[in-house]
Chains A and B, each alone.
Chain A
Amino acid sequence: MPEKKIENNQEKIKSSRYNVYYKVKGKEKHALFNTLTRAILSIDIELKEVLEKGDVNTLEPGIKESLLQMGAVVPSHLDEKQIYEFRHNMTKYTAEDSSFVIFPTYDCNLRCPYCYEGTEKLSTFMDSVTVQNTIDFIKRTTVENGSKVVILGLYGGEPLLYPEICYQIASAVKEWAHSNNIVYYGTLTTNGTLLNEETAQLVLPYIASVHITLDGPEDIHNTMRVYRSGKGSYNDVMRAVEVVKDMPKHLTLRIHVNVEDETYKGLQVLDDLEQRGLKGRENLHIYFKQLEPPDACLSLSLDKEYIKKKEKGLNKFPEVWKKAQEMGWGPHMSVEAGSEHGMLTFNIIPCDHLKRGRYSVDPFGDVYLCPMSAGRKHHSIGTLQKGGGLILAPSYYTLLTRSPAHLEGCSECQYLPICSGGCPISIWEETHNYLGSYCGFLKQLKITAIKSHLRHQYPEKFSEVI
């Protein structure tokens, strides 16, 4: 429900604590963005002055009413931080769905140079006892959480190195969910090279959505996504795309684009996809990312070079999107504010993995909140027991009860509602404390994202926002 105010016009109002302003170059205008309501307004300097320093009660009733609707002004007794905290907690503690990301193995048949997944744990895969414990864990936890939906994500490593394990877990969970009136949704994240007719027949009946990554057109892809021998994987990945193409499943393609290259050569892969008949396919989703290790958000989140690159990406991606749209791929993309792969995600928690009902299980039966942290033993929230029990580690409670509205450095920050204090796991990597405050470049990135969003979404008003 929107945070509309029940109070009438006679009541005293004040400026929202979550208004941020950006100047528009060459115009006497400012962009106002409210980080709590996500409202965007174009305002002139006089209004900005009143909002920042003056008495908003003196504004014209009509203007006051619109500003109230947008949340740019609020009743004077309203503590907006409480709204933030309420919504943050609601999102974090409800477990309408329970999601399990399964690592049948950390091993992969590719050796992409940018991938950081460690080598020391590669040779293991989930043994039969752990497979059974995992199945039991999923059933038991979904019921305990009272979830209406169970989401199973096959992940890794390359999950299709062990299609039998994928099959065992997915089929058991799907059957169980059906007979218990729980909605089942299965996803597979694969490099595609092992998705042939045989593995497709075994695993895909339990999968509603397949996720595959392309590093651009053949020549670029084949220098990046390579087998151990150094041979490129492009043709094999495309074969997988074609296998899934004619099945009634969601297909998501992640396409890596180098934003340093002004011609965005990576986009040429779209031409090949068009020739292969992908354009216009129902339930095809594409999104663009810069080339980076899968766990970059943890391993590099405080790395200066990475941040620079990230910032550049935020500024450049609207151009990439525009190009792809011009090529006719608009209907397959969703980049508007609030969507997962857009510029501005509207999460009220730092990351969708950091809430109740999120679990990643690795080949050792170690459970993590976040799949990116899998394998970093310190972040494990427990190890599966026989029968699927899990004794939660102290860190689970620390992570879940972390309350950004009460963190030093966050509680008074205007960007709190769109940042929520950042990722505690990456902060731990820097400070060895989940509750540490490490704003780092986070705020700068949020500001860059907001401005980039304003520029590309409202070019006539905000193309010159600074």
Chain B
Amino acid sequence: MADFELKELLENNKFDDLTEEHLDVLKTMKILVDDGLDEKKVLSFRYCKEKYSSPYSIFVIFPTLACNLACKYCYERTSELSARTMDEKTVVNTISFIKKMAAEDNTRTILIKLYGGEPLLNVAACTRICEEVSSWAQQLGMQVAVVLQTNGTLLTEDVLDALAPYLTYVELTVDGPQKNHDTIRIYKDGSGTYQDIMSAMERVTKRGIHTALRINIRNEDDLRDVLTDLTERGFREKRGVTFYYAQTSSFGLCELFSNNKLCHDDEERALEMSPAVREVIKELKWMEHLEMPDILQKQKFVACNNEKKARYVIDPYGDIYLCFFRAGQKEYRAGTLTEGEGQFGSMYYEMLARNPLQFEECRTCVYLPLCGGGCAMRAYEQSGTFHTNSCGSMKDFAEKRILMYLKRKYPDRFEKVI
């Protein structure tokens, strides 16, 4: 551990006063680097490597933009999106596009994410895409993984009969314990969905399909209630059940994308309650089911997974997007499907050529390796170009996360770190 004097020496580049032993340790940890090494170039190299050579391709498919629920916080609900559903021609084009891009990306694994809207409002499209892509990929020795992100209310035995052979896992969401959930995640007639989601989870796990449950909570007590209920329903003893938790937000967009006060407060609260939440998980013996990136393991060079090559979002109109949250809004489309291929427009190239090492503000920022320049889409909305930084709350939280991580990982040394 560094003492005050060492910090002084490091900050003032006074390395002559260091012992050999110190020097060795500091060099191994890359706290000191050779004078000739430009760490920005190392970062730029790693950034580009991560961005341009992904071993897998992800296709996020919106079989429909419609949904049978009317959750109060849903961003899709409040925006003026249509209830458009993918027609047969677009399904065929989507399949050709997946094959073409997977071949072009020289991918090893195709990840299909059925998203929406509620994807199971268009089971025919889901099934056909899974079926045709899987049999094609099998011949070429490629792996296919299918993730179904559904509200669960339409996950009947019949639907599972059709889709189960392809499903790698199913993602479900509950909005806290039933009494809260049933006021938020509601059918259009206002009735709650909790019981239906639990039944769906039962059916999925019974077939041996992995379930990933997102549990939205306001505080640790919410999580306690949900996990207690899940235990009573026998899910704790089931294999292939994982969960993660998130702060219930009234603005359900991703952390990078949001920089307004509401999201900032949400994230702040999430960090604050994190130690208490983990205590609850340990106490209720759910730790081995918890599957979420640790505070710092979130580290990535490219800000958002969808800013990389080999990421495609396809909406029911057959338009290609880079960001999930903009699907269906034509002014943000990066391309469009045509028979047998896709055609990309300028947005695609602009996004893919983005490199924060070329942004003045990012180049000198010590947090750049944790942040990657922030959300490209947000940058675009603020400045009309992807080629600029979008800090959002990043700097604030980077520091808080580091401190939180140190406290948790090395309680004996860093309990009082501020």
Give residues in A with beta carbon < 8 Å to B.
1, 3-7, 75, 77-79, 82-83, 85-86, 89-90, 92-96, 146, 148, 356, 394, 396-398, 400-401, 403, 406
Contact A79 B53 (CB under 8 A): no
Nearest CB of chain B from residue A8's CB, rounded to whole Å: 10
Chain B residue with minimal CB distance to A83?
B349
- Please measure, in the bound complex, the distance between the C-alpha atom of A1 and the C-alpha atom of B49, giving whole angstroms: 20
- Please measure, in the bound complex, the distance between the C-alpha atom of A5 and the C-alpha atom of B357, giving whole angstroms: 28
Query: Which of A1, A75, A146, A397 has a CB less than 8 Å from the CB of B45?
Result: A397
Nearest CB of chain A from residue B152's CB, rounded to whole Å: 35
Query: Which of A5, A146, A356, A406 has a CB less than 8 Å from the CB of B358?
Result: A406
Nearest CB of chain A from residue B319's CB, rounded to whole Å: 9
Taking A89-B353, A398-B38, A398-B41 as contacts, is the C-beta distance between A94 and B53 under 8 angstroms? yes
Contact A394 B342 (CB under 8 A): no
Nearest CB of chain B from residue A75's CB, rounded to whole Å: 7
Contact A394 B53 (CB under 8 A): no
Contact B349 A146 (CB under 8 A): no
Contact B309 A90 (CB under 8 A): yes
Q: Could you pull out 14 A-B pairs where Cβ atoms are within 8 angstroms?
A: A1-B101, A1-B341, A1-B343, A78-B346, A78-B349, A90-B52, A92-B48, A93-B48, A93-B52, A394-B36, A394-B37, A397-B41, A397-B45, A398-B41
In this complex, the interface size class of chain B, counting residues with CB under 8 Å from chain A, is 35 or more
Taking A6-B336, A78-B345 as contacts, is the C-beta distance between A86 and B48 under 8 angstroms? no
Q: Is B196 among interface residues, defined by CB-CB distance under 8 A? A: no
Q: Is B34 among interface residues, defined by CB-CB distance under 8 A? A: yes
Nearest CB of chain A from residue B48's CB, rounded to whole Å: 5
Taking A79-B350, A83-B349, A394-B38 as contacts, is the C-beta distance between A96 and B341 under 8 angstroms? no
- Please measure, in the bound complex, the distance between the C-alpha atom of A239 and the C-alpha atom of B106, giving whole angstroms: 41
Taking A5-B343, A6-B343, A146-B53 as contacts, is the C-beta distance between A394 and B48 under 8 angstroms? no
Complex interface: chain A residues within 8 A of B349 (CB) = 3, 78-79, 82-83, 85-86
Q: Is B51 among interface residues, defined by CB-CB distance under 8 A? A: yes
Complex interface: chain A residues within 8 A of B38 (CB) = 394, 397-398
Contact A1 B104 (CB under 8 A): yes
A90-B52, A401-B48 are known contacts; what are 18 more A-B pairs with Cβ within 8 Å? A1-B104, A1-B342, A1-B344, A5-B345, A6-B336, A7-B345, A77-B346, A78-B346, A78-B349, A89-B51, A90-B309, A96-B106, A146-B55, A148-B108, A394-B36, A394-B41, A397-B42, A403-B355
Complex interface: chain B residues within 8 A of A89 (CB) = 48, 51-52, 352-353
Count of A-B contacts with CB under 8 A?
89
Chain B residue with minimal CB distance to A181?
B141
Taking A82-B350, A401-B45 as contacts, is the C-beta distance between A94 and B345 under 8 angstroms? no
Contact A148 B106 (CB under 8 A): yes
Query: Which of B36, B53, B343, B353 has a CB less than 8 Å from the CB of A86?
Result: B353
Give residues in B with beta carbon < 8 Å to A.
34, 36-38, 41-42, 44-45, 48-49, 51-53, 55, 100-101, 104, 106, 108, 309, 333, 335-336, 341-346, 349-350, 352-353, 355, 357-358
Contact B345 A6 (CB under 8 A): yes
Complex interface: chain B residues within 8 A of A4 (CB) = 343-344
Complex interface: chain B residues within 8 A of A94 (CB) = 52-53, 106
Taking A7-B345, A82-B349 as contacts, is the C-beta distance between A394 and B34 under 8 angstroms? yes
Nearest CB of chain A from residue B378's CB, rounded to whole Å: 19
- Please measure, in the bound complex, the distance between the C-alpha atom of A189 and the C-alpha atom of B346, giving whole angstroms: 44
- Please measure, in the bound complex, the distance between the C-alpha atom of A397 and the C-alpha atom of B43, giving whole angstroms: 9
Nearest CB of chain A from residue B340's CB, rounded to whole Å: 12
Complex interface: chain A residues within 8 A of B106 (CB) = 94, 96, 148
- Please measure, in the bound complex, the distance between the C-alpha atom of A167 and the C-alpha atom of B304, giving whole angstroms: 46
- Please measure, in the bound complex, the distance between the C-alpha atom of A396 and the C-alpha atom of B352, giving whole angstroms: 23
Complex interface: chain B residues within 8 A of A75 (CB) = 345-346
- Please measure, in the bound complex, the distance between the C-alpha atom of A394 and the C-alpha atom of B48, giving whole angstroms: 16
Chain B residue with minimal CB distance to A396?
B45
Complex interface: chain B residues within 8 A of A83 (CB) = 349, 353
Interface centre among A5, A6, A394, A396 (most CB of B within 10 A): A6
- Please measure, in the bound complex, the distance between the C-alpha atom of A96 and the C-alpha atom of B345, giving whole angstroms: 26
Complex interface: chain B residues within 8 A of A77 (CB) = 346
Contact A93 B51 (CB under 8 A): yes
Contact B344 A6 (CB under 8 A): yes
Taking A1-B104, A394-B34 as contacts, is the C-beta distance between A82 and B53 under 8 angstroms? no
- Please measure, in the bound complex, the distance between the C-alpha atom of A96 and the C-alpha atom of B353, giving whole angstroms: 20
